[in-house]
Amino acid sequence: MTITDELPPHIQKMVDHNIPGTDILHGELKNLMLEAENMMLTRSNEKYKQYWEGQLDALTHVYQLTYLLAFAIDERTKDET
């Protein structure tokens, strides 16, 4: 994955449809987690397995944070109405 100044088209489309950023991030993280899990399971070299295991752990922590953020934002929104 390369970093650019533009969002990938599928993400830009979600932004254009007013999907909350936490929902977009949550979905993209899930895709990255699945990719990391597949890479971890298909690598025979222990070094690469450890790398992808670390990637999966890090992505899982951020994925969990998106849940907490979504619920906290939802609760704040309910309190404001």
Q: What are 52-71's pLDDT values in tens digits? A: 999 999 999 999 999 899 88
| 66 domain residue, yes or no | yes
Is residue 5 pLDDT above 90, yes or no?
no
Cβ(22)–Cβ(38) below 8 Å: no
Mean pLDDT across the chain: 90
Q: What is the DSSP letter of 17?
A: T
| 3 domain residue, yes or no | no
Q: Would you put residue 18 in left (φ > 0), alpha (ψ -120 to 50) or beta? A: left
| 11 domain residue, yes or no | no
Question: What is the pLDDT at residue 2?
Answer: 61
Name the residue range of residue 44's domain: 19-74
| 26 domain residue, yes or no | yes
Give all strands (DSSP E) within 1-81, no chain letters: none
Which residues have CB under 8 Å from 67's CB, separation 6+? 26
